Structure 1
Amino acid sequence: MEGNLTKGPILKTLTKLAIPIMASSFLGTLYNITDMAWIGLLGSKAVAGVGVGGMFTWFSQGLAAMARMGGQVQVAQCIGRGERDRAHRFAQAAVQLATLMGMAYAVISLLFTRQMVGFFQLTDPEAQTAALAYTKIACGLIVFSFLTLTMTGLYTAQGDSKTPFLANLIGLVTNMILDPVLILGPGPFPKLGVVGAAIATVTAQAIVMTIMILGVFIQKKENVLKGISLTAKIPKEYLSGICRIGIPTAIQGMAYCAISMVLTRMVSAYGAEAVATQRVGGQIESISWNTADGFAAALNAFIAQNYGAGKMDRVRKGYRASLWTVGIWGLLISFVFICFPKAIADIFFHEPKAVATAVGYLVIIGFSEAFMCVELTTVGALSGLGRTRLCSIISIAFTSARIPLAIILGGLIGLSGIWWALSITSIIKGIIFTCTFLWITRKRG
């Protein structure tokens, strides 16, 4: 049966599923880098404003992870057990939950935009204005993003990663065309600046969502998303099943973002260039982050199906193959960040102070890239086993340690101390998560 991940050569099965997901994740990175490259032409204040607004879209992804992860794991485990009807019901509950939460987040964002942006205490009026404008549009229409993330997870759970890839590819092309037109306003087009960047991003998300919905109807193969109704009552059994898996992942994602917001507020004391560096640096870093996260999504579906089918030997072998793959990728990224930081910084910044700050960030963060890739992959593997609560506890505990560590190191060596706090904790988490997975799977024999 197509989409069955419990049979066939392990590395071939994993790679076939992972490559389109990794490519989709890489396209997501290009989305953000494209935005930042064009906004960079407006100056570091505009970049800082979009960086702050982007924090709230990132926070929303943590919330969206409840429906995405809960739906993906439950659907994949049901398929592994051969329970197609239950898989369909879990898929319906996940889509309904994503829609409700996306709309609720949009309403709250529109009502409290000023208070949300005010948390970062931006001292520059231009950066403040940019942050308000971007947040209103990007968060006000966030439901497209919620549904895109959830449907991507549900497609992946069935072993179909090609459809989300094609949808994201078309979305990226749209975004790359709209960005320069709406941000800079060439010829007859009005120059919308930061507002144009937000419109381009939201439009691309809406297109990706639409293509994935069309894919359900166009494809002849069986799909758990077929026949879903947004108005049907969600049975408590399926909602609680999704929440049991999804809530720890959502808390983990939102806590991670909230901690980053606190750190961003600390960074803002060093000026707009420092905030812009953290935002752009994070987008550059997502070349490794998104790729590892993409592989983790494939591994999650692979492990969930095989765990559901009781094939623990395939679970262990799949994890080991994945660990080698993402580890090598992370080492390559580390090499580039540490050896060529100025070449990367020059793409996004055009002011000497901002370039110097970005170079410092990339070198320090470079030391932790391989460990971060391993961490993300292992979180995907543990989640496939249904151990999302354990992932949440470990992640929140060590990510929270960034705040006191940043205060201590920041007091000793300034802004670089905050960057070192990020790097050190990523290294520790990578080691602990790997040891945890190996211990759990060995214990299960």
Structure 2
Amino acid sequence: MNKITYSDRDLVRLLVPILADQFLAILVGLADSLMSAAVGSAAISAVSLVDSVSNLMIYIFSAMAAGGAAVAGQYLGRKEEQNARAAGQHLVLLLGAVSFAVMLLLYIFKTDILRLLFGSIAPDVMAATNRYYTIVMASIPAIALYNGGAALFRVMSRSDIPFRTSVLMNGMNVAGNALLIFGFHMDVTGVAIPTLLSRWTAAVVIFILLANPNLTLSVSGIRSMKPDGKLLHNILYISLPSGAENGMFYLGRLILFSFISTFGTASIVANAIGNTLGVFHCFAGNAVAMGLVTVISQCAGAGDHEGARYYMKRLTLTSYALMAAVNLTLMVLLVPILNLYGVSGEARHLAMVVSLIHGSAAILIWTPSFLIAHFLRACGDASFTMVISMISMWIFRVLFAWIFARIFGLGLIGVWLAHSYFDWTVRSIIFILRYRSGIWRKKAIA
């Protein structure tokens, strides 16, 4: 057994860039939406509709990348650097092949997809959606490859590299939007082109950096690499359940959004505000979870189970502290934040209630609900987390949302109660029991 050691300084150097990256992505997303608003309502709708599809791809490929990187991390924990490097190269090829195939399918069935998902929208919105879709979907492989490269750098404890690349990507996106929308007065195309170019730039840059032969997980020899069935099996064993879980999770969000759209304008507006604030509620915990995969995967690979428990406790306390600091601050600032929106009194009241529900749940139960799941995946127990997450989502998030909203007449508030408290509580209980059982000790790759 190898002893895995991370000092306080090591953990800070790992987590701070991830926190900054997550926060930057949120701010750029807000800036992006504000600038697209200047193009008109059709453009806003088009961007929102198509992004619901592209965000699904981001959820899936980021989870697959993290799962595959966990395999490389386990090999690093065993001091098997050659296998770790080969695992990283196999992950890149897998993400590239799958994402390219997905992109082709999205183009081949573009008309059917647009009609199926958005068939009842106004003609001008459909035209804008078609243009935005045609351009942005070409970035699907870039999304997958960037996430793969970023995950490999994080496993090497070089989270500063993805952060710097993200600054470049997001800076290009914002500057490009400003230039094309306000300078050249372009329509939705002016939103799409910077998105495409910035994503591909980030993918190219991160792989130029990853090609450095001096890196532990360098992809410099990827052209001469021979496919290894065992490595692919190990990667798919973790990455496929992780990707399926994230994809199903996002699908559940879309179903709830469709359900909420029947509640009326005030609920739709309040839900949109709640979703915006909800991203801020959880970004700190998500950052800790991403860093946790790096540490725990190496502990699992090394067979250092006591080390895994030790760092899990430390990172759990870190997550609770950060989530409390962020969410209590947002609660204090909630009234002035809501005043910025200028919405109706009913929408404002609903937005305040759902934000308080979600923010309080983020402090109390987000960490056991999600951080333990990341711990289990990093140890190789990804299939269990996938099954539990899917069952919990369909029963306690989707079904109970309908029960609370329709039968108990709670409307939007009922949906957010089911989502934030019932789903997360059930997940927390089951994952805590799984963690305490110690079964994860036997799930490391062979």
Tell me, yes or no, whether TM beats 0.5: yes
Distance 2:346 2:176 in 1: 27
| Distance verdict in 2 for CA 1:437–1:51, change over 3 Å | farther
Offset at residue 138 of structure 1 (A)? 2.5
Distance 1:425 1:74 in 2: 32
Offset at residue 305 of structure 1 (A)? 0.7
Give the length in aligned residue pairs: 435
Pairing partner for 1:71 from 53, 68, 78: 68
Preserved CA contact (<8 Å) 1:296 1:380: yes
Q: Corresponding residue for 1:408?
A: 403
SS at match of 1:7: coil
Q: Which one-letter code corresponds to 1:381 in the other structure?
A: F
The 5 Å alignment of 1:108-119 reads: 108-119=105-116
Q: Which one-letter code corresponds to 1:262 in the other structure?
A: I
Preserved CA contact (<8 Å) 1:78 1:86: yes
The 5 Å alignment of 1:185-204 reads: 185-186=182-183, 189-192=184-187, 194-204=188-198
Question: Which whole-Å deviations, capped at 9, do the CAs of 1:335-386 have from their partners, x for residues lacking one?
Answer: 3454443433455x45547963644542332232222244332222111111
Distance 1:5 1:88 in 2: 21
Pairing partner for 2:428 from 419, 427, 431: 431
Pairing partner for 2:312 from 300, 319, 322: 319
Distance 1:5 1:124 in 2: 58
The 5 Å alignment of 1:152-167 reads: 152-167=150-165
Q: Corresponding residue for 1:399?
A: 393
Question: Which whole-Å deviations, capped at 9, do the CAs of 1:6-39 have from their partners, x for residues lacking one?
Answer: 2243x43322212212222222222322212323
Question: Which whole-Å deviations, capped at 9, do the CAs of 1:396-420 have from their partners, x for residues lacking one?
Answer: 1111122211212221122332232
The 5 Å alignment of 1:61-140 reads: 61-65=58-62, 67-120=64-117, 124-125=121-122, 127-140=125-138
Q: Corresponding residue for 1:263?
A: 256
| Distance verdict in 2 for CA 1:135–1:288, change over 3 Å | farther
Distance 1:226 1:140 in 2: 23
| Distance verdict in 2 for CA 1:388–1:27, change over 3 Å | same
Offset at residue 430 of structure 1 (A)? 5.5
Distance 1:196 1:318 in 2: 46
Whether 1:227 aligns to 2:220 is: yes
Preserved CA contact (<8 Å) 2:142 2:203: yes
Distance 1:362 1:196 in 2: 33
Q: Which one-letter code corresponds to 2:13 in the other structure?
A: K
Distance 2:44 2:269 in 1: 5
SS at match of 1:185: helix
Q: Which one-letter code corresponds to 2:230 in the other structure?
A: E
Pairing partner for 2:179 from 165, 171, 181: 181
| Distance verdict in 2 for CA 1:425–1:111, change over 3 Å | farther
| Structure 2: gaps spanning 5 or more residues | none
| Distance verdict in 2 for CA 1:246–1:354, change over 3 Å | farther
Pairing partner for 1:390 from 360, 363, 384: 384
Percent sequence identity over matched residues?
Answer: 18
Whether 1:420 aligns to 2:417 is: yes
SS at match of 1:142: helix
Preserved CA contact (<8 Å) 1:32 1:283: no
Question: Which whole-Å deviations, capped at 9, do the CAs of 1:190-222 have from their partners, x for residues lacking one?
Answer: 332x332232222222222122122134x5743
TM-score by length of 2: 0.87
| Distance verdict in 2 for CA 1:223–1:354, change over 3 Å | farther
Q: Which one-letter code corresponds to 1:311 in the other structure?
A: D
Preserved CA contact (<8 Å) 1:6 1:305: yes
Question: Which whole-Å deviations, capped at 9, do the CAs of 1:70-93 have from their partners, x for residues lacking one?
Answer: 321111111111111111111111
Distance 2:219 2:69 in 1: 15
Preserved CA contact (<8 Å) 2:92 2:149: yes
Q: Which one-letter code corresponds to 2:417 in the other structure?
A: W
Question: Which whole-Å deviations, capped at 9, do the CAs of 1:402-444 have from their partners, x for residues lacking one?
Answer: 2211212221122332232222235315632551354134995
Distance 2:41 2:225 in 1: 48
Q: Corresponding residue for 2:286?
A: 293
Q: Which one-letter code corresponds to 2:287 in the other structure?
A: G
TM-score by length of 1: 0.87
| Distance verdict in 2 for CA 1:278–1:441, change over 3 Å | same
| Distance verdict in 2 for CA 1:114–1:334, change over 3 Å | farther
SS at match of 1:224: coil
Whether 1:380 aligns to 2:382 is: no
Preserved CA contact (<8 Å) 2:138 2:196: no
Pairing partner for 2:358 from 365, 372, 377: 365
Whether 1:211 aligns to 2:205 is: yes
Distance 1:285 1:197 in 2: 24
SS at match of 1:141: helix
Q: Corresponding residue for 2:31?
A: 34
Question: Which whole-Å deviations, capped at 9, do the CAs of 1:297-322 have from their partners, x for residues lacking one?
Answer: 21111011112112222211111111
| Distance verdict in 2 for CA 1:271–1:199, change over 3 Å | farther
Q: Corresponding residue for 1:305?
A: 298
| Structure 1: gaps spanning 5 or more residues | none
Distance 1:146 1:44 in 2: 30
